[in-house]
Chain A
Amino acid sequence: MIKKVLIANRGEIAIRIIRACHELGLRTAAVFSDVDSNAFHVRMTDQAIGIGPSSSSESYLRGDRIIEAAKKSGADAIHPGYGFLAENAGFARMVMDAGLVWIGPPPEAIELMGDKLAARRSVQKLNVPVVPGFQKEIDDVNRVRDEIDKIGYPILIKAAAGGGGKGMRIVKSPDELESAVKAASSEAKSAFADGRVYIEKYIPSPRHIEIQILSDSHGNCISLGERECSIQRRHQKLIEEAPSPLADETMREKMGKAAVDAARSCGYVNAGTVEFLADNDRNFYFLEMNTRLQVEHPVTELVTGIDLVKEQIRIAEGAELSLRQNDIQIRGHAIECRVCAEDPSNSFMPSTGQIRSYREPSGPGVRVDSGVIEGSRVPIYYDPLIAKLCTWGGTRLEAIERMKRALSEYCICGVSTTLGFHETVMDHPAFRRGDLSTHFIEEHFGGSSIPAEDDDDIVEAAAVAACIFDFLDSKRLATVAMGAAGSRWKTVGRSEALKRGSGK
């Protein structure tokens, strides 16, 4: 049985895990870098151990120092959270070799799912649908025409060695194929010195839908419904919700089964997430498996009533899942907004500094997972996520209205945040209709900057606040100046007294 858990992470996720441990009656040990010595997670834990300089490569990514800290603290298990070392199979092995319990999946599963092509082959063995496509050197386009016809147009041509959109072409009909392959191939050759291209079915406005699974070491594996995470910017999720506005009962069941199969294909144990791309006809295709706890896990917790972190710890202890697939009921609707220290009106530029004043929303149906408090510093070294704001509602619309209310209550001063951006999205007609795709931000907000919509009254109040502040400041300074002038009598008196030689 686990008695003390070391959390190899920081910020909101470290606190999330500390809370689960405390509810289970477990002690916690946290780790911190130099810049985090005063951080909120260090205040929330039972024990805390410094592991090095601020840069993550010298602290939170130093597996050796973290294991050393675990030994020093007397912890018998390590929870990696997400990011940092969470999907590092080598670290998982180090933990186990040190005789500690690893609260995560087997290293072999991490490795297999970490290799995108191996993962694709692995899940295909159990007939999990993948995006149709193939890779080969195409010297004669006519030889692949039949294969492409089988996939169906439109298709996407991607550079095999590529990334960043270079060597990428969308082909809508067979007559565009030849010129597109040539163009993509020569672009790829000049960019990556490798002209090989890959052909994949193109999904015009894809949605990102993922399934949460839980799997124990006794061969039981269940799915906990889906989350839709289509609101993204540069492949970073910004808003997630459960259930998906697109999914119906049939799709949910099919995806759940596919996700369980994907997990089984790699011998998965613990909590994991299988990501799919879906089109608006409810076809879905395996994208990848995330072999860790996800940032957006709270929305699943809110609609299922299951504490995923506690389940992770029980599974790591070797317990059998207490839940069966039939026990899983989806109730109501939950939304999560990622509150980041970024400036949406300036290309989501990271914003660092000190949080001067801070007040969280609360009330019915609101959950805040925050890594900061008043006075916290947002350092430049780590992820800009400072808190996750979730709301639950009986219906999707209630969850949206509640989110708007909670966003307006949230007060974070000192750094720019994405709070205003989220309010804009909550009001957007396409979002309210549930008409989502991973292109949502590009399509509806055009360029990279998102102007905030402002209420006239609030703008006027802001103008007044600045004037009042200056006015009171100038009065205060005047008073201080007068006070100084008045005190000169005392100065003179004291110096006279000193002259007289009577110190008292």
Chain B
Amino acid sequence: MTYVARLLGREYVITVDYIGERIGLEINGRPIEFKHTQGRNRHRCLMLLDSNSYDVEVSRQNGRFLVTAHGREFEVFAEDQRLDTIRKVAGLGYATDQQSDVRAPMPGLVVRVLKQTGERVSKGEGLVIMEAMKMENELKSPRDGEVGEVLVTTRQSVEKGECLVRLK
């Protein structure tokens, strides 16, 4: 099976398949010597990529993968290359570009809504200020775009994962 994986503005075409009992791996068409050992917990595994050792942890979250490797956390978008091709042909853009829901990272209170429906926003611009753990935190836009919908109002309390703003 061939995947397209994207993270941090980089793109990898990764082919994974069983060769007998072993897993064969190619990254961007380059075959890699690969060994994979899964622990009792299926989220945790040891990978040897051309004998480089990576002790990793993977989980799914909102259609993405969270990967922890060497003490760092990465958000990976990975999908079947065929789906990716269909998207491109249909002009739907990449999976990464479609992240449009800005969600509450923790339960808390909306202190201020900084952008209204229809306003243009650029990546990193503040959308909503939330108070949680006695601190005010600014939630920023994940990308350039337009505010499609604001789902919360000032002084409203929200749950973790609740959608606050939808980008168009």
Contacts and interface: CB of A to CB of B under 8 A. Distances in A.
Physical interaction between A and B:
yes
Interface of A: 343, 346-347, 349-352, 356-357, 380-381, 384, 407-413, 416, 419-420, 423, 448-449, 452, 454-455, 457-472, 474, 476
Given A351-B105, A409-B71, A460-B12, A467 B78 contact: yes
Interface pairs A-B: 9 shortest CB-CB: A466-B65, A463-B5, A466-B76, A462-B74, A469-B58, A413-B57, A462-B67, A461-B54, A465-B56
Given A346-B140, A380-B133, A458-B70, A469 B65 contact: yes
Nearest to A453: B72
B132 A467 contact: no
A462 B71 contact: no
B57 A356 contact: yes
26 contacts: A347-B140, A349-B105, A350-B106, A356-B43, A357-B43, A380-B106, A380-B133, A408-B71, A412-B68, A454-B72, A460-B12, A461-B47, A461-B56, A461-B69, A462-B69, A463-B5, A463-B7, A464-B5, A464-B27, A465-B47, A465-B65, A466-B65, A468-B25, A468-B47, A468-B58, A471-B3
Contact of A411 (B10, B49, B55): B55
B132 A350 contact: yes
B167 to A, nearest CB: 16
Contacts of B137: 347, 349-350
A495 B100 CA distance: 51
Contacts of A410: 71
B38 interface: yes
Contacts of A469: 43, 45, 58, 60, 65
A423 B70 CA distance: 11
B64 to A, nearest CB: 8
A356 B44 CA distance: 10
Contact of A466 (B25, B54, B55, B67): B67
B22 interface: no
A458 B72 contact: yes
A463 B42 contact: no
A458 B54 contact: yes
A380 B158 CA distance: 13
B1 interface: yes
Interface residues of B, number: 53
A471 B25 CA distance: 11
Interface in B56-99: 56-60, 65, 67-74, 76, 78
B8 interface: yes
A346 B103 CA distance: 13
B148 interface: no
Contacts of A460: 12, 27, 49
Chain A interface helix/strand/loop/mixed: helix
B83 to A, nearest CB: 12
A457 B32 CA distance: 13
Given A416-B73, A454-B8, A457-B49, 10 more contacts: A346-B140, A350-B105, A351-B105, A357-B44, A420-B73, A452-B72, A459-B74, A463-B6, A469-B65, A470-B65
A472 B54 contact: no
B76 A462 contact: yes
A40 B165 CA distance: 37
A476 B73 CA distance: 25
Contact of B7 (A351, A420, A462): A462
A322 B14 CA distance: 65
Contact of B76 (A356, A381, A463): A463
A215 to B, nearest CB: 33
B19 interface: no
B138 interface: yes
A468 B12 contact: no
Contact of B71 (A423, A463, A470): A423
Interface in B7-33: 7-8, 10, 12, 14, 16, 23, 25, 27
Contacts of A351: 105-106
Nearest to B1: A471
Given A352-B106, A463-B5, A357 B57 contact: yes
A357 B36 CA distance: 18
Contact of B25 (A343, A408, A413, A464): A464
A419 B8 CA distance: 19
A437 B141 CA distance: 31
A68 B131 CA distance: 34
Contacts of B135: 350
Interface string B121-160: 0001000000011010110100000000000000000001
A472 B71 contact: no
B14 to A, nearest CB: 5
A458 B14 CA distance: 15
A464 B69 CA distance: 11
Contacts of B25: 464, 468
A502 to B, nearest CB: 41
Contacts of A357: 41, 43-44, 57, 68
A42 to B, nearest CB: 22
Contacts of A423: 71
A347 B78 CA distance: 27
